[in-house]
Structure formats: C-alpha cells, structure tokens
Amino acid sequence: MVGILDPKAAGARRFEGQVAVITGGGQGIGAATARRLAQEGASIVIGDMVAESSERVRQAILDFGGSCEIALGDLSQWESAEALMTKAQDAYGRIDVLANIAGGTIWFQSFQYYTPDQIQAEIDRSFWTAMWCSRAVLPYMIEQGSGSIVNIATHAVTGRFRVPYAAAKAAQIGLTTSLAREVAHLGIRVNCVAPSGTAADDRITPRDHGVAVIPPELPPSERADQEEYRSATRNSEIPMGRRGVADEQAAAIAFLASHDASYITGQVLAAGGGQPYPF
C-alpha cells in the first residue's frame, strides 16, 4: 500500500463512502482526477477507450488501498455510456459523482480545411461523451436524491483554428447551465471547469495520429500562421506565466464535485492562471 496518490489531497476525505465515475480517466486530467478523488476516499469507475493506460491508473489506486473498476468503450455512443453507469451501479450500488473529462482537440487548423469526418470526430469526442454520460447517470442520481456532475469546457472557446472543438466545449456550457436548473430541486448539482492550456503527459490516444495537431498537408503560409498563433498563446496570455498541470485541474474538479460546493450549481469555474474567461 502506497502513501499518497495526490499530495495536494493528503489528509482530506471529502469523498469517503462515495462513488465517482471518471470519463477519460486513463490519462491527463482524467487520470489526475481519478487519483485525487480516490485519495479523498471515493471508489472510482474509469470510463475510457484504452485498456493499458486505464489499468495503470487503476493499479495505482489499488496500491494506495482504494477501489477502482474500469469500463472500456466509446463514450460518444449511447450504448457505451449506459453500460458505464450500469457497471458503476452494479459494482458499488450508487453513483455520487460524474466527471465528464473525456475529450480534447484532435486537429489544429483553419475551419475551411476540416473535412466532415474530422468535424464529426471533434464533436463526438468533446461533446457527445458528456451529453450521453450525463443522460445515462441521471436515473441513478434521481433515485438516490443526490449527485454532482462536473463537465469540462475550455478557455479556447473563442480561440482560432479549433472551431469544432470550441463549439463542442461551448455546448458543454449550455449542457451545464440548462441541466443544472432542471435538476437542482432533485438534489443534483451540475457545474463546469474551464481549463486553459494544461501540461500533461503525452497522450496515449494521440492527436492527429501522433504527428502534430497541425496537419502537414496545409499550405506553408497557413502552417506558419498557425504555428505562430499556437506559440504566442501558449503562455503569454496567462498572467501567472505558465500552463497549469493536471493535478491543479483535478483540484478544481474535486472542489465542485464535493460537498464544499453544496450551494454551487450551474457555474463555470475558470482554472486558467488568471486568464479571463470569455463567457
């Protein structure tokens, strides 16, 4: 048994006896959130597409002395989202927290160069996963009379070169605010964290097949413009002068998921190092 999964959470037990479903829990912010909530006492169910990375997170939680299950599937499909919640309910008998973290930009290019298939892939990954999982978890939370859903938006909703991703994440804000008003009287809270650029380990599920998020077939002038924009915005617009790390985003998610935020619902928490949120 190891001592600490997340040093920021050492000693806190806000999720003792609770069950948390973490989508995208095999890497990045999702993995950090799974570790954080497990550190604070939650039993974890990871929903992800990649067995190897999910198993590494699960093993870390088990080594800590926690409890963790994995449900593999494509959460942009209703059937997989429904199966994830069924597995969590069957394993632990309740679902207290849903953290909709699966998602992320795949391509970085002007909208005119996106193919229909690329647009669909961006929307599937960064919106439909949250929509389907939120719908799938509701019957369980309604029956138990409590629950907390945390979605993930982004500071990039008004940025350039990621129109489908920006639209998908803006839609998550609509999902958050509308659903929060609808289920507040049922004891269910729905909030959203909006990270700015976050430093994380290399993706197990790569962007643009692991080459670069800026497709190599773009015209040279277009590529140069996008490279300059990406470099200029990485740190310069963040008052703290650095990108966040996954554990910092996990801390924000844990706060909104916890009873510390019991009177907060329908809100977007900007976790961007002081960068103003565009909404």
- Give the ranges where the chain is alpha helix by DSSP (H): 28-39, 51-64, 78-92, 116-123, 129-144, 163-183, 220-235, 246-257
DSSP class of 128 = I
Q: Name the burial class of residue 241, with classes exposed (0-12), middle (13-18) and buried (19+) by CB atoms within 10 angstroms of its CB.
A: exposed
> What is the SS3 assignment for 194?
strand
The answer to whether 150 and 193 are in contact (CB under 8 A) is: yes
C-alpha span between 128 and 111 (Å, rounded) = 20
b/e map 73-87, b = 16+ CB within 10 Å = bebbeeebbbbbbeb
User: How many C-beta atoms surround the C-beta of residue 113 within 10 A?
Assistant: 14
3-class SS at 14? coil
182-197: buried (b, 16+ CB within 10 Å) or exposed (e) per residue? Answer: ebeeeebbbbbbbbbb
Task: Tell me which of 92, 114, 140, 165 is the catalytic residue.
Answer: 165
Residue 247 tokens, joined: 């554990």
How many degrees, rounded to 5, is the angle at CA 122 between CA 87 and CA 57?
40
Q: Does residue 142 contact residue 188 with C-beta atoms inside 8 Å?
A: yes
Verify whether residue 165 is a known catalytic residue. Answer: yes
Question: Mind telling me the catalytic residues?
Answer: 165
